Structure 1
């Protein structure tokens, strides 16, 4: 602030003081020149004038002129001296102000320089600290490099192991991929024949077995290897045997059984006979002394304790016949069990359930056209063969396996 103020004041002072001394000097120089010209003109006139004695009035007038001229010269000299002193003072003031301004600028520059030096020293200290940190980090680098080298060695070892494992896996994969298409086709044919045998022997599903055998024959035809001629011949005979099986209308029989089950609530029940009262032998009380009667009584008691039943006969209803709802439900459940046995190709269970249903119809339901038709339908279903004797279709599978073993040995 002081510096800027001094700078603002300095140009004004320079403007005010810088021109006045020159003007004063110019003013003083002009009177001096005039007086010198007057003296010279006087001297010239004195030299030119004859040395005649001047009159007193003229002499006095000349003295007055000389005195006034001297006074003017003195005034001009004084004025010039004052102007010179003023110019000197102004010049000194200006020089002093400029010197002070220069000193202030120098001090300001020194202060700025000192600030820069301080900043430089601070930066130097920071650089030294950074250098020290960097030196520590540089010193720690060899240790870190050793750790990284050890980790890299472990990683290389692990990668080498993984690479070996990958190579082995790729080799196995290549060996698998190098297997011919015929090999895959042969395996597919073998699996189809296995499925056909399982479906026929375990589930009695001749339709699925026939479809699997025909598909296997198509695969062998695409392979086109003459070595499989024997296998295809066996497949052809097995297809013929499966096609010659009797056609079983499982759907029709299942629908007939379901219709019978739905018609059970419509059939009337028999009138239930009254329960018989046990016969009491009155002679037992009168003839207790008779040992034969006692033995007969004991025998009757033993007969009531031991009961022999033929379990192969169809079971009767577990619930009392007078309970119509439960009797109808039991008969419907029996018929539905027969339908399930039909779908599972279980010939024995199918006939057993149908026989049980027919027996319940005869025992608990009254004679009616519906009961008669139901008994006739059940008798016809019992005669049906839901699982006929299945042909042996394993010959083609065995021949295929023997041929593959022979080819693998070669």
Structure 2
């Protein structure tokens, strides 16, 4: 019995320790579970904060994208406006060049320079994409084709030829001696009576007062030495008159001056001289040149530019455009 009694306390102690261990384990479990719950709650809060931050970032990103898109749209509008202004400036510059080309044709009869100006206009219009330019480009193409076939007058070359001839006028040969007078007095007056000698002296005196010139066998009239300077000056003046007429495209004065120069040379210069023949040939060639040929007009291109700017300033409806097209 005593032995059993001694064993009972130790058994109770084991039970107590087991209970305490179980309680401790339960406490540890609940403590860990509580800490786990707290940790999960904190994680949930952090996740929620992160989600809120992510949402804010997403909203900020969307706002930034919208702002960027708005900025890009504004930039596109600005670029379009700048491009439009550049196109308007290019069109104005092209219209100015067309007017210069028209002035070259009207006042200077210079189709070569007018053609160069219109080619520059075509280069300006080529990159432009405005569909309203179609009519203008067609008119420009027609005028370009006409200018390419227009006859060009080489004013500089013609002027140089006249100037060279003018410099050689003083080399034209003139008759220097009069034809020998067949009736020249060779009578020996020593054998004549006094009244016959007096008659011979009277004849000599009359010959000194009155000179009779004969122009037979194609011999040109004699130009006295003191008159030659005036003759050459008249030729120079007539050629300079033709040069003035060339620069002013006056065909009538140009040809009349050359004809008068040729007539004087034929009348007073030695006809068999190579210098005379060369001068007459040059004058004949110059006289055949048409210094004022008919020039093509570029009125169609000018009108097309005018219509373009009027249409750009006052855009009309399709119906009114159709009416205007029929009216035209």
- Which band: TM-score by shorter chain? 0.5 to 0.7
Q: Which residue among 274, 294, 310 is the counterpart of 1:389?
A: 294
1:369 aligns with 2:274: yes
Counterparts of 1:6-405 in structure 2, within 5 Å, are: 180-270=85-175, 323-367=227-271, 368-405=273-310
* Structure ID, larger Rg: 1
Unaligned segments of structure 2, at least 5 residues? 1-81, 180-222, 316-328
Would you say the 8 A contact 1:193–1:212 is kept in 2? yes
Instruction: Return the alpha-carbon distance in structure 2 between the equivalents of residues 388 and 240 of structure 1.
Output: 17
- The normalised TM-score by structure 2 is 0.53
Deviation, 1:179, is: 7.1
Describe the superposition over 1:208-242 as per-residue Cα deviations: whole angstroms up to 9, x where unpaired.
21122111111111323221122112111211211
Deviation, 1:322, is: 5.1
Secondary structure, aligned partner of 1:345: coil
Would you say the 8 A contact 1:321–1:364 is kept in 2? no
Partner of 1:116: none
Instruction: Return the alpha-carbon distance in structure 2 between the equivalents of residues 398 and 381 of structure 1.
Output: 38
Instruction: Return the alpha-carbon distance in structure 1 between the equivalents of residues 289 and 309 of structure 2.
Output: 42
Instruction: Return the alpha-carbon distance in structure 2 between the equivalents of residues 386 and 226 of structure 1.
Output: 42
Secondary structure, aligned partner of 1:390: coil
Secondary structure, aligned partner of 1:389: coil
Instruction: Return the alpha-carbon distance in structure 2 between the equivalents of residues 238 and 273 of structure 1.
Output: 63
Number of residue-to-residue matches in the alignment: 191
Secondary structure, aligned partner of 2:123: helix
Unaligned segments of structure 1, at least 5 residues? 1-176, 275-318
Describe the superposition over 1:64-117 as per-residue Cα deviations: whole angstroms up to 9, x where unpaired.
xxxxxxxxxxxxxxxxxxxxxxxxxxxxxxxxxxxxxxxxxxxxxxxxxxxxxx
Instruction: Return the alpha-carbon distance in structure 2 between the equivalents of residues 261 and 374 of structure 1.
Output: 10
Instruction: Return the alpha-carbon distance in structure 2 between the equivalents of residues 223 and 266 of structure 1.
Output: 62
Structure 1, 340-349 or 185-194: larger mean CA deviation = 340-349
Would you say the 8 A contact 1:269–1:366 is kept in 2? yes
Would you say the 8 A contact 1:242–1:391 is kept in 2? yes
Instruction: Return the alpha-carbon distance in structure 1 between the equivalents of residues 97 and 224 of structure 2.
Output: 53
Would you say the 8 A contact 2:265–2:276 is kept in 1? yes
Instruction: Return the alpha-carbon distance in structure 2 between the equivalents of residues 384 and 370 of structure 1.
Output: 22
Would you say the 8 A contact 2:102–2:114 is kept in 1? yes
Deviation, 1:178, is: 10
Secondary structure, aligned partner of 2:114: helix
